[in-house]
Structure 1
Amino acid sequence: MRTITGAELKSVLHHRMLIERLRQTFRAGVEVPMRHHHTVETYDEHDGTLLLMPAWQTGKNIGIKVVTVFPDNAKHDLPAVQGVYILLDGKTGLPQAFIDGATLTKRRTAAASALAATYLARPDSERLLMVGTGALAPELIEAHASMLPIKHVLVWGRSMEKAKKVAARFHRPKFRIEATDDLEGAVRGAHVISCATLAREPLIKGAWLQPGQHIDLVGGFTPEMREADDDCIRKARVFVDTREGACKEAGDIVQPLNAGILTRDDIAGDLYDLTRGERAGRRFYDQITLFKSVGTALEDLCAAQLAVEMVMHNETLR
């Protein structure tokens, strides 16, 4: 059985390649049971979360990701998200690869957001605002910049020091990147607003939004978490990665549904609809669009399969 480290994943899973493979996989579809979601009590401020995410393609591969989310890890200078991925042969069940789950999750999550943006963001989007300073922030910046003509990136976080560290990670990028402490001003001036936080109260206000913007919400993976307020939902054409997952787990969708601000019919489409051409994305230049991602095991399986393919390909070239 192969072991693929995080460093190896970064070297073989290039953003644009993964985004295009995701597009193909959503079009084709795979078997994705609802993920198992368990709360794990801790002795710290916040409880932890255990996620089990299976998926398979008949006759090809079976995959399962085991993920933990411990919000208080930041106190110990550790990522909140940890995990492993196991890829199995779909015909025999034999284990094929043991893959770094944290890196796989970051890559596929960013790729899904960038995939959605190819349908929902204006094609001339040049200004990106990254809200959040965690491990996902650099991935989201790189993924969006790989598909859109981004020229200027602002990074906002509750800690200005952490925002500056995110910006400093980019050496000689094709875009200008800097930290900001003015969230409202940054939102008003952005073409694409990407959020990856553990916020429980909305950070993005609908009153700040401007015509033609695209909002990418990646945090808020439980019904109690929220990154954008009700006005954002009212003003935007709303899309999700998967209807089933978002309507059950994402606070930015669940809470407006429960309040009657949003109905299931108001959700314009998901990534299956967009990639298959069954629903239109952005309809006009000044429209505000919103994409809510909670993640799906389809994305993990797709990324794991591509990673193993690329590792094997590189080995044959040696």
Structure 2
Amino acid sequence: MKTITVDEHDIRAAVPMSEAIDAVRSGFIDLAKGEFEMPTRTALRDGQFLVMSAHHRPTSSAMIKTLSLDFGRKPAIAGTVVWSETGRLDSLVADASTVTTLRTGAAVGVATDLLAPPEAGRLTLIGAGAQAPDQVRAVHAVRPLHRLTVVDTDTQRALGLTEMLASELPGVDLRTAEDAAAAVEEAEIVCCATNATSPLFPEPALPAQVHVNAIGAYRPTMRELPDELLATSTVVIDELDAILAESGEIIHALEAGVLTKDALTELGTALTGTSANHSRRTVFKTVGVAMQDWAVARLLTDKFLD
């Protein structure tokens, strides 16, 4: 019996974003089929400590992630992802920070591939924190970019992100901005990755056709999107129970009466649906579910365990 431990370098070398997107896409489809046992995550100290678990029935495999969140430190996420499987004595322990940013990006890649116009290539990213690089990588993997605008209240942090990504985005027009409302006016895709507690931009600032991903708000007290956007868009979510418990923007819109539960479609259901019809504005709202961590951990297991 042995335990393999993999760090950020190991994970990045082993799992390219395209593979993570494919794995998470398959995971969402299995989730829609009911093939996961996946309780809503445990949140302690108002989300500063999280415990997530998932069991995949067809493979008799399970993942447990424990992490702490502190936006005043680097990295903000710290913890472990542990993989185990019936009939296998060996186990794998992975860095939770890297798995979390990778799987969150992968989910955005899946949703963007499904919902964004095929020709979309202008991305506005709001928030230049730890989640930001994988948001860009995921969108670029499914919709090759020709313009990236990074919005952050810290101009140097925005510039640092564009400089870091420059070698990965040859030929892409890289810009920074401080005004989110102005920066989304010409966007075809918007990614929100902040810890905001109020909407980042007014709904009229968006163009008539746009796809918006919102990944930052994961507690009822947090919000990135205005009610008016949710009321007038096709809204796809990761998992209903998790969203109703944790998504501040969805909870707020439901309580305001501008959105109903029936208007929410889980991503796995959308992926397996026969109709691709949706409004000119689409939103993917995710709070993150354990299946995504399981999907990346399974890739790591395939690569590092005999």
Instruction: Give the TM interval when normalised to the shorter protein.
Output: over 0.9
On the 8 A contact 1:32/1:297 being kept in 2, the answer is no
Q: Tell me which amino acid in the other structure corresponds to 2:49.
A: L
Describe the superposition over 1:114-152 as per-residue Cα deviations: whole angstroms up to 9, x where unpaired.
Answer: 101111111110100010011110110011001102111
1:220–1:157 CA distance, 2 compared to 1 (3 A): same
1:68 deviation in Å?
1.3
1:126–1:304 CA distance, 2 compared to 1 (3 A): same
Which residue number in structure 2 is paired with residue 192 of structure 1? 189
Which residue number in structure 2 is paired with residue 303 of structure 1? 296
CA–CA distance in structure 2, aligned partners of residues 95 and 195 of structure 1: 38
1:272 deviation in Å?
1.3
The within-5 A match list for 1:1-318 is 1-29=3-31, 30-40=35-45, 49-58=48-57, 59-73=59-73, 78-91=74-87, 94=89, 96-172=91-167, 173-174=169-170, 175-267=172-264, 269-277=265-273, 280-283=275-278, 287-312=280-305
Identity %: 26
User: Structure 1 stretch 170-179 or stretch 289-298: which is displaced more?
Assistant: 170-179
1:249–1:200 CA distance, 2 compared to 1 (3 A): same
**Structure 1: tracts of 5 or more residues without a match:** 41-46, 314-318
CA–CA distance in structure 1, aligned partners of residues 147 and 65 of structure 2: 35
On the 8 A contact 1:48/1:70 being kept in 2, the answer is no
CA–CA distance in structure 1, aligned partners of residues 60 and 13 of structure 2: 24
Q: Tell me which amino acid in the other structure corresponds to 2:107.
A: A
CA–CA distance in structure 2, aligned partners of residues 149 and 252 of structure 1: 29
On the 8 A contact 2:5/2:92 being kept in 1, the answer is yes
CA–CA distance in structure 1, aligned partners of residues 187 and 270 of structure 2: 24
**Structure 2: tracts of 5 or more residues without a match:** none
> Deviating runs (4+, > 4 A) in structure 1?
none
1:95–1:223 CA distance, 2 compared to 1 (3 A): farther
1:48–1:302 CA distance, 2 compared to 1 (3 A): closer
Name the count of aligned residue pairs.
298
1:2–1:257 CA distance, 2 compared to 1 (3 A): same
CA RMSD of aligned residues (A): 1.7
On the 8 A contact 1:61/1:91 being kept in 2, the answer is no
TM-score scaled by length of structure 2: 0.92
